[in-house]
Structure 1
Amino acid sequence: MMKKNYYQKMAFLGVLLLTLLAFQKYTETSEEAFPEVSFISENLPVEALSEFDPNDLGKNQWQKLGFSEKQTASILKYKQIVGGKFLSKEQFKKCYAVSEEKFSQLETFILLPETNSEAKGNSNFKSFEKKSLNIKRKFNPDQLSQTDWENMGFSEKQAAAILKYKSYLGGSFVSKEKFKECFIINEENYAKLEPYLILPAKTPANFNSFAGKSKTFKTRTLQTTFDPNTLDVQGWMVLGFSEKQANVIVNYRERNLKGSFKTLEDVKNCFVISAEKFEELKPFIRFNASTMAKNSGEKKSDLKQEKTDFSKTDMNSITFRQLLEFGLDEKSAGSMIGFRKKLGGFMTKEQILETYNIDKELVQKLLNMAPLDNSKVQRYTLIDAPEEWLKNHPYFKYSADKIIFYRTSNPDEKKIWKYLKTKPEYELRMRLYLK
């Protein structure tokens, strides 16, 4: 009898042990950390982007923006969950597959209202209209204007995005392969366009899209002289410059030199004309006195007054006009001044190169000679930083609410950093503006 009771107790203990082990395994599984979201490309070249409606993007287009296949699937599934359409940036940002860094990178290009309430109250807001493409004959996409793309069936914003992508490539789509990579053109539209495209199928091996121009398009051999004061953007492009470079040359002539090059030295001093390129053009440059007549009465003292010594111009005090004088276009200059204002001043030169919509090659030349004084930039601690400053600063605004909450109950900066759990690179940027 005693043996029977013993075996019953042992059997009961065995069943209890197995139950506990199974429960432990279950709880471990249920508490397993959610896999960390990472991006294929956090450093998507901004110069290749243009405004877009996220409701228009398909699987391949999201992947062209740097999202992995799994992240893309999550975004598309999330769109269906919220009703098949993103209403606002606020709603899009809540998708867990979109990190704060990625959203910050894309935010200015997203064609959506800021909030859901704004979207519902804005009856004028519309997504891109879906139109069927009207293609009648074969064509070279390099030769199409904004109006041509719109007449084909693309919206105004889509047409502008296509032209911006062409400019990013150096003024030519180069090949069908490169044309297909334009993120605003979905698979369906490319399939309709492909048979009509007059472009090589494959991209030449020596093409480098991130150089900002195509090395396969060489300068047309010059056979006649030209007046640099009569050339427009297209004229400079014929001489072998990219569209971006040609715009800089024209801006430099119109703004810095008051409408005309007066000497060969003036041409040579333009930042985007290399010494090698200048020597190639020099024998063919001819100045026409009549094109410079309007400036003939200008005093030399006036010209000197217009010139800025950029080696002594602080990047935290440089003006919009001085940036134009250096050769930047209005969009680049405005973006840089705007970003500086939001930050409260630049702390490092690397920050300046993070500015959206700038000519990085030209700005790098400016940074090589211009100083940066950050001694007057306002700094705070996480404890005493004003709430408004936290919520508006580009580096703090996504963590502002957490900082304000944690410092109320735990006024210890080390503990706040511990609770925030920010990525090391984000913390590094934030600390630039902390005491």
Structure 2
Amino acid sequence: MMRKSYYQKLALMVTLLTVLLAYQKYTSREKEPFPEVTFIKDSSIRDLSDFDPNILDKEQWLKLGFSEKQTATILKYKDMVGGKFTSKEQLKKCYAISEEKFSELASFILLPEAAEKGDSKRFTPYGKKGIMISAKFNPDRFSVHDWLKMGFSEKQAEAIIKYRNYLGGSFISKEKFKECFIISPENYSKIAPYLLLPENTPENFRNFAKDNTVKSRIQYHIFDPNQLDLEGWKTLGFSEKQAITIINYRDRNLRGSFKSLEDLQKCFVISAEKFQEMKPYIKIQEKQQEKTDFSKTDLNTITFKQLIEFGLDERSAGSIIGFRKKLGGFMNKQQILTTYNINQDLVQKLISIAPLNISNVPRYSLVDAPEEWLKNHPYFKYSADKIIFYRISNPDDKKIWKLLKLKPEYEERMKLYVK
């Protein structure tokens, strides 16, 4: 009996193991791999300025370094979320944008980090509300109210009207009507049989619609892109956000001016078509820059550009400006010569010509000096904690100096900034 019981248990265990192995094999089947997403390395990313992803078209996404397929995916994703990205968090979820690519673009994106409460409900998802059509109609004559009656939300109705206006006040054809991103394929299939529109778009559509709407409002004239302000760019047909992006690109990335047509062409919010449209009217004037009189230029206010003008390279000029900022200003000319990474000969020549005004340089007593100032100042930061500690029980500068026991050269340079 024991032997029979033993074999029964053994058979049960073998059966259980077989079932477990079969289940594991079934549940661990590899899913079909998702196609790898790769990104184009584009040197134009170095020229990137602040941008709103909601105003970019296909060509502008391509300029940011995305492939044709990735761009199509991003635009389709925008349609799926209601035709507008509401936050960086939402944009990041688009699988065509890798973590690396998103981190590269994140600081330039003009969107809040996360969506505000309630944002996800602002736009009604496509197809949630039934579309009701009773007879054939001409969509060119429909108002927002008419689209609402059909079953679209107010936001969707406004978007449809906006798209019609973009086309020149007419949908032109069923083909063009279908391209309205707010109308899902399911809704289009319901609406199409009732549309009083031709099936196909006329060959002359580009001139008929776009040229008659946008170009007719733009009176081009000879202009210098370095002289245009916000309103000037808007009169050329750019939106306010696009105009701000162009100005930021010029002033920040190009240090105040477009040097050539190529510089302007690289601005990603200017499409190739728009650039060709403006090109005959662009005239970049060569600036006759006034020469700086260095004998009257204060070393505590001299600018990066003026240092370059004097002959210093960018590294030297940047080091001087950076060191001066940390100090709060130079107290004597010899301090400038202690700056790292500078051309000593040129700087020696500069300080022999230019004056130094120290009247606006912050100076404090050890007792009254702000803690933040002590901890950040290059000359005080290594003694800051001691000064803060000693002055609690010894509110007297002379006593604090004695307690610090500093090397004479350190004390000497610190006293330059003490009242």
TM-score scaled by length of structure 1? 0.44
TM-score scaled by length of structure 2? 0.45
